A and B are shown apart, each in its own frame.
Chain A
Amino acid sequence: MTGPVELLETGLYNKLNVAAVTDLATGGIWDTNAPKDTSYPYVIFQHSAGGDENLTKSRMRSVVYIVKAVSNVKNTAADISEKIDDALHHQTLTVTGYTNFWTARQQDFRIGELTDNGIMIYHVGGFYRIRIGE
């Protein structure tokens, strides 16, 4: 049986795996980490915080995901980040068995990662709060 964590991540993936995002993020959409040697640019989503709310008898979860573009070109990362935002901020995820009643960007995220061979890799995106209930 698939639990709410996997169901939500499936909904998140499906929301990101659209032409508006993948036309730019040609390296694909990946959970937590991209496989080694994945070509830039790509998108990563990763659980950052949160879990069950335990507000009522109905199961309700409130989680935060980092969703970011990863690219060796700064502007490309920024452009993809905007497409991520279009796909997620105040949008509704389809999560089997649950209702997604809140999806919104909470904070911005931006870091630069210098590789061993001196190339700067840009990570640009945001923290998104996602709430679902039965």
Chain B
Amino acid sequence: MPTYTGTALYLAFDGTEIDTDFREFSVSEEMGIVDGSAGADANRTYLTTLKDGTASGTFLDQTGGTAATALYNKCIPGAEGTLEWGPEGNSSDDPRHHVNAIVTTRDMTVNFEDVTEVVISWQYSGAVTDTAYA
């Protein structure tokens, strides 16, 4: 299977596609563990606890817009909805991932001589579903 870039990324939050002006998108998932070793154990052993995850995206902000059309206005901290991403796009059989997520941070950097960037972070709130587009 060949490698691929992010040009085809499909990304949506709360039903709105937001990938048009993305520059970078990343997800991070982890499994909580606790130390289960004791007594005369020679090696530590662990027990799994809860899964967790976050996502983050960097976007170029666009002028104007409302909550329905502008990324910045849509991704208010505390906003909750389905975060869905297809790294290879959303054509039939492309991998599809989605999770309920909450916007935790919304950062904007305005540069005099460069484009304005918005960075959005999400906290997963539920299980990720890894599937494929029909």
Query: Are A and B a genuine interacting pair, yes or no?
Result: yes
- A-side residues, CB < 8 A to B, are 55-58, 99, 101-102, 104, 133
Q: Please state if B113 and A58 are interface contacts (CB–CB under 8 Å).
A: no
What residues on B are CB-neighbors of A104 within 8 Å? Answer: 113
Pairwise interchain contact A55-B113, C-beta atoms closer than 8 A? no
* Bound Cα distance A57, B10 (Å): 11
Q: Interface size class for chain B? A: 10 to 19
Across the interface, do B113 and A56 meet the contact criterion of CB distance under 8 Å? Answer: no
Q: In the complex where A101-B115, A102-B113 touch, is A58 in contact with B20 (Cβ < 8 A)?
A: yes
Distance of B126 from chain A, by nearest CB (Å): 28
Contacts of B21 in A (CB 8 A): 56-58
Given known A101-B115, A102-B113, contact A55–B7 (CB-CB < 8 A):
no
* CB-based contact A55/B60 at 8 Å: yes
Q: Which of A57, A99, A101, A133 is within 8 Å of B7, CB to CB?
A: A57
Contacts of A58 in B (CB 8 A): 20-21, 60
Query: Hey, which chain A residues are within 8 Å of B115, CB to CB?
Result: 55, 101, 133
